[in-house]
Structure 1
Amino acid sequence: MTNTQLTHIQIDNYGPWTVTPEPRREMDLQTLQSRLFADLAQFVGNRGGYVFFTRFDNMVAVTNGLDRTDHELLQESVGNRYPVTLSLGVGVDEIPVEALETATAGVQAAGSAQDAERTEVLAGEFHTGQAADDLHIAHFDVDDATGKYTDRLNEFDTFIQIEQGYAALMRYMREEHGALSFFVGGDNIIAVCPELSPATYQAAIDAVEAEVGVELKVGVGTAPSPHEAGFAAKHALEDCRHRGTAVEFAATDSPTLSTD
């Protein structure tokens, strides 16, 4: 059975802090955000999870395998080393967006993101299912991004093309399947998904190409932890490149769907 545990990470009272006692230098804020993300990625990644930066003051983590103690330790570590604190909401569901809704509701119920009295909330329930439970990670990238964009266009126009593909995929996967897709740099997008068929992934790729003209391919992995599922997805994506296909599942997953 598929169960995804998601953690909504929100910096407490961040907006007011950035302008108190007066507006702070933007590059100082960017440095803090990037260092905080790096520390969160290392902490969660060392425990087999994934973190995605979304808006930086809010982040989303796939935390299958992390329990309440891990989350408390994360809050303590950040509180000891940064001038800001974190509130965390946790949700579990077969549909990723439903897990995130639960996680977010737990944080919101404790107070506003700009409430100075709300600090280090830890809300929600943790996944306690069987070890055989799994989750699904899909790793998309743009087909021949280097040849089509990077080596032909200036960086900003390349960025526009990649972001258009990401935006179209993000909307489609969320609206059609409750999946959550995150840009992770370069031309790569990682999606946390419910169980979907090869034909369903092909339909998503076709929808993005029809909407914005960006061609994608995807590898899909299934495993109990985000790291294991994501690593399997990366290998499946390499199979796409070698076989000239648009959709590949890792060897232990569903059959592949060829574009031939």
Structure 2
Amino acid sequence: MVLLAGVIVLIGYREWTEEIGYDREWIIQKRQSAIYLAAMDAAAASGGYIVPFSHDIMVAVLNGVPRENIEEIYRVVSRESPVPVAMRVVATNRPGWDRVPIEPGITIDDYDDGGVAALHIDLDMVSNERRRKGFLQPFAEVMRLYIRLVEDALPRGYIPSYLGGDNIILFAPEENIDDALGLVMEAMGDGRYKVGIGVDDNPRAALARAAHALSVIRSARSCRVYVDKRGEETVTCR
């Protein structure tokens, strides 16, 4: 089983930004938000999920998403983008999966995907620390964890995403849950955290299970890790 990614690139994006004058940043940010919103709506409608990287590059997590819906994501982004769009759909266990396509259009490599795991990391006490100390130190702590996962997880074909606040997601193939969780725990060190893990056929369903898993941890208060896997629930206390 593999993680299936759709690497989406806006071609000529930098040139477009330079053509709209100096009073442009608010225009750029507004357009970026519109593109991301359209992409997320299209992906979620068929069970996918969009991870933004640089704003002219997004990665769609596509396990379980039918081919016709993958093509619809490409069409939706193309309609919203001010420049041509390229999209390559590829399994992340292939060398060079993160190479950006350079020609407009969509290419779909041969693949055989499977279930996807979403590891939802929630750092403990960050909200309280923001109220007591301000937001700078807690935000820096979350960003350090996110950068560590970018450096350690992306080369393995796992896809991290910062959700906001003190929440980070790591997507991995279903069969690689233990390896992905090990990366998270190593990155956290002695930090306080909870990890709700959801496993399902597509990213949207896996994320919903991960959110449920976190709610169980918060209720039980005796475990740091909980796995909700297609009706099969496993508690791991640490």
Same fold (TM over 0.5): yes
Deviation at residue 151 of structure 1 after TM alignment: 1.3
Counterpart contact for 1:48–1:65, Cα < 8 Å:
yes
Aligned residues: 235
The residue correspondences of 1:38-187 to structure 2 (distance < 5 A) are 38-92=37-91, 97-98=92-93, 101-102=96-97, 104-105=98-99, 107-108=100-101, 111=102, 118-119=103-104, 121-125=105-109, 127=111, 133-147=114-128, 149-174=129-154, 177-187=156-166
Change (3 A) 1:21 1:248: closer
Q: Structure 1: 5+ residue runs without aligned partners?
A: 112-117
Deviation at residue 71 of structure 1 after TM alignment: 3.5
2:9 corresponds to which letter in structure 1? Q
2:36 corresponds to which letter in structure 1? F
Higher strand share: 2
Query: What TM-score, normalized to structure 1?
Result: 0.79
Counterpart contact for 1:221–1:232, Cα < 8 Å:
yes
Counterpart contact for 1:8–1:100, Cα < 8 Å:
no
Change (3 A) 1:205 1:230: same
Cα distance between partner residues in 2 of 1:98 and 1:30: 33
1:207 corresponds to which letter in structure 2? E
Change (3 A) 1:99 1:243: farther
Deviation at residue 98 of structure 1 after TM alignment: 2.1
* Alignment match, 1:115: none
Does residue 1:190 correspond to 2:174, yes or no? no
Deviations 1:146-175 (A, max 9, x none): 12x221222233321221122223333345
Q: Secondary structure at the match of 1:136?
A: strand
* Alignment match, 1:246: 224
Deviation at residue 50 of structure 1 after TM alignment: 0.5
**Percent same amino acid at aligned positions?**
23
Cα distance between partner residues in 1 of 2:46 and 2:162: 21
* Alignment match, 1:237: 214
Cα distance between partner residues in 2 of 1:84 and 1:230: 31
Cα distance between partner residues in 2 of 1:157 and 1:239: 28
1:249 corresponds to which letter in structure 2? V
Cα distance between partner residues in 2 of 1:239 and 1:153: 29
Change (3 A) 1:101 1:254: farther
* Alignment match, 1:33: 32
Deviation at residue 16 of structure 1 after TM alignment: 1.3
C-alpha RMSD of matched pairs (Å): 2.6
Change (3 A) 1:196 1:67: closer
Cα distance between partner residues in 2 of 1:3 and 1:172: 18
Cα distance between partner residues in 2 of 1:16 and 1:189: 32
2:166 corresponds to which letter in structure 1? D
Counterpart contact for 2:65–2:202, Cα < 8 Å:
no
2:152 corresponds to which letter in structure 1? Y
2:55 corresponds to which letter in structure 1? F
